[in-house]
């Protein structure tokens, strides 16, 4: 067995537009190895992070999909609390270009001088655009179909090291194993080096998580969702409300399942539920006949990727 570093998603809020009892607006925490990233930041996100006992100073990057309030109204509070709590390490916010102005005017009006560097990166909602990469993860854009420009995100982990062949591992001294995993040939004393290819297998496939909220049914996303282990897709409405979904540029649960099925993803996670549904099970029931491996997101839900 090869121990893989953690790659987890925590859904902090799963409601659409208006808060409903027990539901909060959209925010998600993505953790890949040691990296921590926030995806959308609806009102009250910092409270949700406290509720799960997460130290939000660990977040290095925040990704804002679009500028509807239920996806970013918690941002200013979080930026401010990070400052008040003495943050010094940089924070990068990836989002629509207007976001810089929105944040800037609030900082100026309150004469707040952040103690930490705040970087703004404008996102381009064009499928496949590279948005960010660090030592843990590569993040690319998805072009969602919504009333205003809206970017989805694919988080793909960096490929892991080569695997040692189980039938050869005992012939590799322990102190040389890491070097072989990194691709080196095995040199021992004066004997001929053993080529790396004889000792290793390719790394495990890199795991990926895709975030699609908010969007109308958009089959153009499918090529960019291939091979994704976990797809979060909004499911604001039931099929009975399909006309309303079309008008507001949202999706039904069945449409989310069609995208998951046609992209061949591993698992589908539904969210962004309209407050008219007290119980989201009605959405799950409409998705599962199309794509069986579907689950509902919920407040504080933890989902392991891959």
Applying CB under 5 A, which residues contact Zn ion?
A: 68, 214
C-alpha torsion 17→18→21→26, nearest 10 = 30
How near is the Cβ of 15 to Zn ion at its closest, in Å? 12
How near is the Cβ of 278 to Zn ion at its closest, in Å? 22
How near is the Cβ of 86 to Zn ion at its closest, in Å? 34
By beta-carbon proximity to Zn ion, the closer residue of 61 and 214 is 214
How near is the Cβ of 245 to Zn ion at its closest, in Å? 12
Is there a catalytic annotation at residue 70?
A: yes
Q: What is the DSSP letter of 271?
A: E
How near is the Cβ of 125 to Zn ion at its closest, in Å? 13
By beta-carbon proximity to Zn ion, the closer residue of 157 and 214 is 214
Q: Which residue in 70, 134, 214, 229 is the catalytic one?
A: 70
By beta-carbon proximity to Zn ion, the closer residue of 66 and 267 is 66
By beta-carbon proximity to Zn ion, the closer residue of 136 and 272 is 272
Looking at beta carbons, which residue is closest to Zn ion?
A: 68
Tokens encoding 191:
């004997």
By beta-carbon proximity to Zn ion, the closer residue of 64 and 230 is 64
Q: Is 66 exposed, middle or buried (0-12, 13-18, 19+ CB in 10 A)?
A: buried
Residue pair 259/222 in contact (Cβ under 8 Å)? The answer is: yes
Sheet with 35-41, side-by-side order of all strands: 118-122, 91-95, 61-63, 35-41, 27-32, 7-13, 301-304
Residue with tokens 């960010």: 132
How near is the Cβ of 265 to Zn ion at its closest, in Å? 22
Backbone angles phi, psi at 216, to 5 degrees: -70, 170
Q: Do β-strands 208-212 and 230-234 pair in parallel, antiparallel, or remain unpaired?
A: parallel
> Three-class SS of residue 285?
helix
Long-range contacts of the stretch 122-129 (C-beta < 8 A, 24+)? 122/94, 122/95, 122/96, 122/97, 123/63, 123/64, 123/94, 123/95, 123/96, 123/151, 124/151, 125/149, 125/150, 125/151, 125/152, 127/220, 127/221, 127/223, 127/224, 128/224
Query: Alpha carbon 149 to chain centroid distance?
Result: 18
Backbone angles phi, psi at 152, to 5 degrees: -95, 170
By beta-carbon proximity to Zn ion, the closer residue of 23 and 68 is 68
Q: Which residues are catalytic?
A: 70
């Amino acid at each position: 067995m090869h121990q893989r570093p953690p790659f987890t998603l925590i859904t902090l809020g799963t409601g659409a537009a208006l808060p409903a009892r027990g539901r909060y607006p959209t925010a998600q925490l993505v953790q890949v190895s040691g990296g921590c990233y926030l995806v959308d930041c609806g009102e009250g996100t910092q409270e949700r992070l406290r509720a799960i006992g997460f130290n939000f100073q660990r977040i290095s990057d925040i990704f804002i999909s679009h500028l509807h309030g239920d996806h970013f109204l918690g941002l200013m509070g979080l930026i401010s609390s990070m400052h008040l709590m003495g943050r010094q390490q940089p924070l990068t916010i990836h989002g629509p270009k207007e976001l810089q102005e929105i944040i800037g005017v609030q900082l100026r009006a309150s004469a707040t001088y952040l103690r930490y560097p705040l970087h703004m990166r404008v996102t381009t909602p064009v499928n496949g655009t590279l948005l960010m990469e660090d030592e843990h993860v590569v993040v690319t854009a998805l072009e969602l179909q919504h009333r205003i420009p809206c970017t989805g995100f694919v988080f793909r982990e960096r490929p892991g090291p080569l695997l040692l062949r189980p039938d050869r591992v005992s012939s590799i001294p322990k102190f040389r194993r890491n070097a072989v995993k990194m691709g080196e040939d095995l040199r021992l004393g004066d004997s001929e080096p053993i080529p790396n290819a004889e000792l290793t297998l390719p790394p495990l496939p890199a795991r990926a998580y895709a975030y699609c909220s908010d969007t109308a049914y958009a089959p153009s996303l499918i090529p960019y969702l291939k091979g994704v282990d976990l797809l979060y897709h909004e499911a604001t409405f039931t099929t009975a409300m399909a006309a309303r979904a079309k008008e507001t540029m949202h999706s039904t649960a069945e449409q989310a399942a069609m995208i998951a099925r046609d992209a061949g993803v591993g698992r589908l996670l539904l969210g962004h539920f309209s407050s008219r549904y007290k119980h989201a099970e009605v959405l799950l029931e409409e998705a599962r006949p199309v794509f069986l491996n579907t689950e509902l997101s919920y407040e504080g839900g933890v989902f392991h990727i891959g």
